[in-house]
């Protein structure tokens, strides 16, 4: 079998270009294997980020033939011998080759108040979670915190909006807490303000690339938008939720 041809971005914030590499075919090869082969046999200075090689850490996010994907989950044979282009994700500043500066995620994470359950009353019976809540939250808990949905979000990517919108990944994170029946906080003010949820216009591009198939807009962003609207434009409903202890999402 002929070698598989890869075009991999080499460069840094000052510029760069695609470089061609030939990689011998290997049974079951994924794009990350090819990158490791290039590092081992062609150029050890090629920079890439990875960790689990099991589609669970999100570190190997890259643009493969123009689409954000996990390098460790992308089989080479699906391209049927055509050349494969690998570029860094565009949404974050480039450091070197396939590695970008993703520190913005750590900053945003710190701005989001964590899960805050009410203290257990002494002697209270064990709390049981309704299956419907388990199912709803399980979808959000599948998020591997990669960078794929962020890379296609036009607010973050085309409009350089990391200063005004938290983006889809953090909408999923916030939804997981906001919709937890035990959580006592409302993050509606944060979502409306610094979180910038109003900038999302529900294009659903983020859903198309999510490796976990999370319905980011339908199940996270739209219900969060409804919460923000209630809190700001329907004070009666907001009061009911606050004093009635309701945490279940709307529209279900």
Per CB under 6 A, residues contacting ligand FES are 50-53, 55-60, 70, 72
Q: Which of 32, 98, 174, 214 binds ligand SF4 (CB under 6 A)?
A: 214
Task: Identify which of residues 62 and 179 has a Cβ nearer to ligand FES in the complex.
Answer: 62
Phi, psi of 186 (to 5 degrees): -115, 125
Q: Which does 14 bind (CB under 5 to 8 A by kind): ligand FES, ligand SF4, none?
A: none
Q: Which does 52 bind (CB under 5 to 8 A by kind): ligand FES, ligand SF4, none?
A: ligand FES
Tell which residue, 78, 79, 86, has the closest CA to residue 38: 86
Structure tokens at 141: 């808990």
Q: Pairing state of beta strands 4-12 and 84-87? A: parallel
Q: Which does 86 bind (CB under 5 to 8 A by kind): ligand FES, ligand SF4, none?
A: none
CA distance 10 to 85: 12
3-state SS class at 247: coil
Is 211 a residue that touches ligand SF4 (CB under 6 A)? yes
Instruction: Tell me the C-alpha to C-alpha distance, in Å, between residue 148 and each of 2, 118, 237.
Output: 31, 34, 35
CA distance 27 to 147: 28
In the bound complex, what is the minimum distance in angstroms from residue 140's beta carbon to ligand SF4?
8
Burial classification of residue 158, based on how many CB atoms lie within 10 Å of its CB (0-12 exposed, 13-18 middle, 19 or more buried): exposed
In the bound complex, what is the minimum distance in angstroms from residue 136's beta carbon to ligand SF4?
15
Q: Which of 168, 195, 223, 249 binds ligand SF4 (CB under 6 A)?
A: 168
* DSSP state at residue 146: -
Is 169 a residue that touches ligand SF4 (CB under 6 A)? yes
* DSSP state at residue 219: I
In the bound complex, what is the minimum distance in angstroms from residue 211's beta carbon to ligand FES?
8
Among the candidate windows 72-80, 115-123, 181-189, 204-212, which touches ligand SF4 by CB under 6 A? 204-212
Binding mask 60-99 for ligand SF4 (x = CB under 6 A): ----------------------------------------
3-state SS class at 233: helix
CA distance 190 to 227: 12
Is 195 a residue that touches ligand SF4 (CB under 6 A)? no
Task: Using CB under 6 A, list all residues that contact ligand SF4.
Answer: 58, 143-146, 148-149, 152-155, 168-169, 172, 200-206, 210-212, 214, 216-217, 221
């Amino acid at each position: 079998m002929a070698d598989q041809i890869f075009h991999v971005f080499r460069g840094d914030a000052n510029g760069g270009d695609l470089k061609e590499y030939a990689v011998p075919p290997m049974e079951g090869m994924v794009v990350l294997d090819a990158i490791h082969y290039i590092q081992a046999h062609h150029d050890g200075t090629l920079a890439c980020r990875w960790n689990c090689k099991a589609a669970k850490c999100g570190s190997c996010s890259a643009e493969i033939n123009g689409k954000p994907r996990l390098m460790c989950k992308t089989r080479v044979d699906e391209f049927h011998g055509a050349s494969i282009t690998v570029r860094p994700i565009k949404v974050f500043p480039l450091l070197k080759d396939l590695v970008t500066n993703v520190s913005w995620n750590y900053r945003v994470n710190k701005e989001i108040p964590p899960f805050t359950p009410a203290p257990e009353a002494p002697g209270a019976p064990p709390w049981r979670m309704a299956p419907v809540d388990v199912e709803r939250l399980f979808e959000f808990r599948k998020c591997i915190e990669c960078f794929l949905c962020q890379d296609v979000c036009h607010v973050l990517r085309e409009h350089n909006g990391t200063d005004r919108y938290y983006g889809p990944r953090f909408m999923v994170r916030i939804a997981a807490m906001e919709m937890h029946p035990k959580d006592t906080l409302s993050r509606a003010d944060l979502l409306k303000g610094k979180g910038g949820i109003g900038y999302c216009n529900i294009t659903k591009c983020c859903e198309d690339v999510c490796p976990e198939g999370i319905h980011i807009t339908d199940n996270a962003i739209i219900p969060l938008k409804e919460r923000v609207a209630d809190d700001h434009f329907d004070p009666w409903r907001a009061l009911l939720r606050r004093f009635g202890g309701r945490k279940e999402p709307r529209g279900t």
